[in-house]
């Protein structure tokens, strides 16, 4: 995100200014204020005003999604909500009647796309608690969404990211080359290159038939699940796109792939998934492949987002943990 002349904090300060200056694009209560709450691909703000008004503003990363891609995301979210598949956040229309706003701000290199979402009450599952039930719910939600994705007539011009092997190993990987991840030394690189080769062979054999590959959330982890007295809600569809359906489990355990609880969480996720959308033995046998594919994508993401707080915290141990996970997976092949 930072330019050569600005620190990461300087850029964030300018993004804060952009978010606040853009609020008049919507018909909001007087004196609404935007407070930054998350930095990842995008910068997200909690918008608050008198009378208890709250909303969530997403300021999109430059050159990550086109307007058509954002429209496609909102179209799928709306369909999932309307058809009772899963509760998703709704969005506000701007004063011009458009869901997606485009705003230029002094000091920011290019205009940014913005979407203002309704605030969704609820809590994220606490990773310090027993996560079995949360993962069972995630599995059931994923199954319903996958069934919907297979049959949903997508709007003309629908466009989203492609999360296949080329997204990680191709000439232009979405989050960069995993080799550029922090602390990827010669020994770690050697192990992970064996994984890359093996994964490409396995995924080619598994294939991309319509029962295995389609529209997925692609980031359905606990941070994007909200629990309340009403139905569970899935938020943050910013990475939704086309990928293997069972890679939604790999996304669910992002950053915690080496935790000893993973086999139990995998079993719980499948307990939620199978009654809604049955799986073959071949499908389930490939789930660990998707975990490794996601892990290498995250290693690249940490390397290409080194200034953000979450990647900084993960950087010291992620490459070594990835290599240890990879060695166990290779030994089981």
Residue 115: φ, ψ to 5° = -135, 135
Full-model pTM: 0.94
Domains of the chain in start order, with CATH, are: 8-118 (3.30.200.20), 132-331 (3.90.1200.10)
3-class secondary structure, 224: helix
Reading the block at residue 327, the tokens are 């060695």
Reading the block at residue 153, the tokens are 């007539």
Question: Residues 291-320: pLDDT tens digits?
Answer: 999 999 999 999 999 888 888 899 999 999
Would you place residue 3 in the very low, low, confident or very high pLDDT band (cuts 50, 70, 90)?
A: very low
Question: Residues 115-172: pLDDT tens digits?
Answer: 999 998 888 887 777 899 999 999 999 999 999 999 999 999 999 999 999 999 999 9
Residue 96: φ, ψ to 5° = -90, 5
Whether the predicted pLDDT of 242 surpasses 80: yes
CB atoms within 10 A of CB 169: 19
Mean per-residue pLDDT, 187-216: 98
Would you place residue 23 in the very low, low, confident or very high pLDDT band (cuts 50, 70, 90)?
A: very high
Whether the predicted pLDDT of 247 surpasses 80: yes
Q: What percentage of the chain exceeds 90 in pLDDT?
A: 84
Q: Which residue has the higher pLDDT, 228 or 195?
A: 195
| Neighbouring residues of 161: CB distance < 8 A, sequence distance ≥ 6 | 69, 167, 174, 218, 239, 240, 241, 242
Cα angle 321, 178, 194 (rounded to 5 degrees) comes to 70
* DSSP string over 151-202: H--PPTT---EEESTHHHHSSS-TT--GGGSTT--HHHHHHHHHHHHHHHHH
Instruction: Please report, in angstroms and rounded to a whole number, the separation of the first and last CA atoms in the chain.
Output: 39
Question: Residues 251-288: pLDDT tens digits?
Answer: 999 999 999 999 999 999 999 999 999 999 999 999 99
Report CA dihedral (90, 253, 64, 150) to the nearest 10 degrees: -60
Question: Residues 146-161: pLDDT tens digits?
Answer: 999 999 999 999 999 9
CB atoms within 10 A of CB 163: 26
CB atoms within 10 A of CB 168: 25
């Amino acid at each position: 995100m930072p330019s050569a002349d600005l620190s990461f904090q300087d850029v964030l300060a300018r993004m804060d200014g952009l978010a606040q200056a853009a609020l008049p694009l919507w018909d909001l209560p007087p004196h609404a204020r935007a407070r930054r709450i998350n930095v990842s691909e995008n910068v997200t703000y909690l918008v608050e005003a008198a009378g208890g008004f709250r909303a969530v503003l997403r300021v999109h990363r430059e050159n990550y999604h086109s307007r058509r891609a954002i429209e496609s995301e909102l179209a799928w979210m709306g369909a999932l909500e309307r058809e009772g598949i899963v509760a998703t956040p709704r969005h506000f229309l701007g004063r011009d009647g458009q869901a997606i706003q485009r705003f230029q701000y002094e000091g920011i290199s290019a205009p940014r796309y913005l979407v203002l979402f309704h605030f969704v009450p609820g809590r994220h599952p606490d990773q310090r608690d027993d996560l079995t039930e949360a993962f069972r719910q995630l599995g059931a939600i994923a199954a319903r969404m996958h069934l919907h994705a297979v049959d949903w007539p997508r709007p003309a011009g629908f466009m989203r990211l492609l999360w296949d092997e080329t997204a990680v190993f191709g000439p232009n990987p979405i989050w960069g080359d995993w080799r550029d991840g922090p602390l990827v030394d010669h020994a770690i690189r050697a192990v992970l290159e064996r994984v890359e080769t093996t994964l490409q062979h396995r995924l080619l054999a598994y294939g991309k038939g319509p029962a295995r590959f389609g529209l997925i959330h692609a980031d359905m982890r606990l941070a994007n699940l909200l629990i309340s007295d009403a139905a569970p809600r899935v938020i943050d569809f910013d990475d939704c796109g086309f990928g293997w359906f069972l890679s939604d489990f790999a996304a669910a355990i992002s950053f915690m792939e080496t935790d000893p609880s993973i086999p139990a969480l995998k079993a719980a996720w499948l307990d939620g998934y199978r009654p809604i959308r049955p799986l073959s033995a071949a499908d389930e046998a490939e789930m660990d492949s998707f975990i490794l594919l996601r892990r290498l994508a995250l290693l690249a993401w940490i390397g290409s987002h080194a200034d953000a707080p979450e990647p900084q915290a993960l950087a010291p141990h992620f490459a070594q943990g990835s290599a240890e996970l990879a060695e166990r997976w290779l030994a089981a092949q």
